[in-house]
Amino acid sequence: MSSLENKGNLLGDVRAEHDHNMLDTAFYDWQDYKILAEADGRFLVVGRRGTGKSALTYRLMKDWKAQKNFVIVVAPNEEDVFGLRAAAAKYGQTLTRIRSAIKTGWRYALIMELGCALEQYYKTQNMISASALNAPLKKWKGLGDNIVSRLKKTLNDAIIPGESAEESISELATRLNLNSLTCDLDELLRVAGKRVMILIDRLDEGYESDEVGIGIVDGIIYGSDDLRTKTSNIRTILFLRDNIFRAIQISDQDFSRNVEGSVLRLHWDVQELFYLVCKRIRQAFSIDVESDVKVWNSVTANELHGREGFKSCLKLTLYRPRDLISLLNTAFYNAKKQGRKVLIVDDLDASANHISEIRFDDLRKEYSSVFPGIDDVAKSLAPFGPSLNVFQASSAIEKIMQNDENPLVYQHLKILGTAQEVLKALYGVGFIGMADKTSGNIVFSHDGKKPERLFDQNSMLLIHPCYWSALGIKKGFPDQNISEQIYDEYDITISSEVKEQRDLSIGGMIAELGKIELGNEDASQFEDWAKRAIELISAGKLTNIQLKPNGNGSARRDIVGTNMATEGFWRRIREDYSSRQIIFEVKNFEKMSVNEYRQCASYLGNEYGRFAFLICRDTQKELSKGGEMEAFREFYNKNEVVVKLTASFLVSLLSKLRSPQKFDTLDDALTKHIDNHIRLYANGQGGVVKKKGR
């Protein structure tokens, strides 16, 4: 390649699967590659998008094959993973059960795939046909055309109708004859004098951040680890996106302890990125010069010369190969259109405008599952320009927090609680940086790190330059002072700050209930707790929720909210029972009698319709036989519905809010609760025998 003609991606494609030419001829074997190529200790490789996971998969595959090793690459596709979710869910709905089933099934699947590969090799072909692997291999090959579809069928077939999920999990390894097959395969490889490398990539395909999705990836990690540790001739390496790694780390309490020493986090520094680019420039322009600085200077104008000029380019990226290659590809294309063969600042500026939109879209895609509305919150800060203080940022965010048009976003911001907590979340995902008074640096964290101190109102913040153009911030190329101040934190302890904030907020509220004593003395505290719980559970559905809105009236309702729902459970309540205003009567004791039902029903009528909730401290959400059930039936027969809602049931609903993906499950739980009242209790069925309570 000697010129720019017809080269839209002069330095290679940002997608590794389309970049084989550059990976073959100009691959830079940086430190992380050498660790994986030369040592067996690290089997889980973690990195954000664009840090080189798929490039490593391709290059390791090629280099290991050249060393006469067996190499198997596993890269699931989206549609097969969706099918695997259904099979995994049959073994239970909790992460631990799903993980256990997938761990066993995945280890078996890898053994079968290795057997298929060894059948094609002339030196091991006869050995396989004479081994215990032969029969299960024939069955395995008839189950589908790839590892995931075959695993799905295997898991489905292993379940015996009528047995419990626990029995299915405990018997799975025995039914698959797993331990015996593992030993047979390892011995076969030993005799053949062969070593196998398994590379597992693209585990984000079809991934969903719920219990099933996390459990599947968690099980694949454990299953791969099991196979490598229980054999002598098999090595496995998994490549995992950072956000999935963090989701597993939070959900699986044993994860860090079990795999901590086996994780390699992909990290690029300025020097390594400079070497990577210069190798590609040599190849693209056929430059035969040893000095990297001279190579860089040969394709850039004076203001971009040298390592400092290269650093100024990096400030428009998130210090990832994909960002940098994309930036320079577009810049070279811009230069070509102007008839130039060297880059100037204007070329990079125009390129930054293009990739900024892509980077902002990546931010939305990567974090919207744990931070609903992140794009709207980010855009609210743009009018202040690249730099703003905490007071300005908080004011803008508070306006977003008052907008309840999108229930999911409104609820998430309500859970985070304050504008300060939202700012912490934006810092944790690298959108804003915080000025460090000691060093003068503006510190950015791209891996969820929690700020070591709280923001004060005068703290200065900076929106990361890579997002400026996408947000319409007219500061195309960062001035050198700001560029020099930016410091990106990579080598840090990983945690999902947004997830932690949700969990801490909800966990604190749940813990608070345990400190509220039963009885009249703490009644006002319980009413306040109930109001805040209702605000979270019904966020975006009920508005203007007030505590004792008519405290001086004769009918003193405890909590009232306006029903503005356009779908789901709350819409059903408005349409079926004409309840535009929803009543919540709150009692800080356990046992409900007809008197409490009568008091609650007396508040109905007009805008309040024919429906109300009666909140109490009962430990059972079901109605007790006799008193409660008869009271409910009495008013139901008068066409009035008073539904008991216990504090423990509210706690279960709050717990579901730990994951934004479970937003709709609240409606499902409330719908089922109401259906039980109408289908069972109204007919005198169901209910529990209740002991006497306060």
469-503 pLDDT, tens digit per residue, is 889 887 544 444 454 455 444 322 223 445 556 67
Q: Which helix (DSSP H) or strand (DSSP E) does residue 126 occupy?
A: helix 122-129
Structure-token match 């809602």, residue found: 645
C-alpha of 400 from chain center:
23
- Taking only Cα atoms into account, the Rg of the chain, rounded to an integer number of angstroms, comes to 30
Q: What whole-number distance in Å separates Cα of residue 352 and Cα of residue 51?
A: 19
User: Going edge to edge, which strands form the sheet with 196-200?
Assistant: 70-74, 196-200, 234-241, 44-47, 263-265
What is the value of pTM for the model shown? 0.61
Q: Which residue from 508, 545, 506, 533 is spatially nearest to 617, judged by alpha carbons?
A: 533
561: which DSSP letter?
E
Single-letter amino acid, residue 652? S
**Structure confidence at residue 39 (pLDDT):** 77
Q: What whole-number distance in Å separates Cα of residue 563 and Cα of residue 545?
A: 10
Using DSSP, how many helices (H) and how many strands (E) does the chain show? 30, 15
Give the number of residues written for the chain.
Answer: 694
Domains of the chain: 53-265 (no CATH), 270-367 (no CATH), 374-491 (no CATH), 514-683 (3.40.91)
**Structure confidence at residue 497 (pLDDT):** 44
Q: Which residue from 425, 379, 406 is spatially nearest to 663, judged by alpha carbons?
A: 406
DSSP 160-224: PTT--HHHHHHHHHHHTTHHHHHHHHHHHHHHHT--EEEEE--TTTT--SSHHHHHHHHHHHHHH
**Structure confidence at residue 495 (pLDDT):** 32
Q: What whole-number distance in Å separates Cα of residue 464 and Cα of residue 519?
A: 53
Q: What whole-number distance in Å separates Cα of residue 650 and Cα of residue 582?
A: 16
Expressed in angstroms, the distance from the first to the final Cα of the chain is 85
Please check whether residue 205 is in contact with residue 6, taking contact to mean a CB–CB distance below 8 angstroms.
no
363: which DSSP letter?
H
Return the C-alpha torsion angle 584, 588, 589, 593, nearest 10: -30
**Structure confidence at residue 59 (pLDDT):** 95
Please check whether residue 382 is in contact with residue 463, taking contact to mean a CB–CB distance below 8 angstroms.
yes
**Structure confidence at residue 543 (pLDDT):** 86
Residue 170, CA distances (Å) to 100, 104, 108 in order = 9, 10, 15
Query: Which residues does the chain have with pLDDT short of 50?
Result: 1-6, 447-448, 476-481, 483-484, 487-497, 693-694
Cβ neighbour number for residue 506 with a 10 Å cutoff? 19
Q: Is 13 helix (H, G, I), strand (E, B) or coil?
A: coil
**Structure confidence at residue 667 (pLDDT):** 85
**Structure confidence at residue 486 (pLDDT):** 53
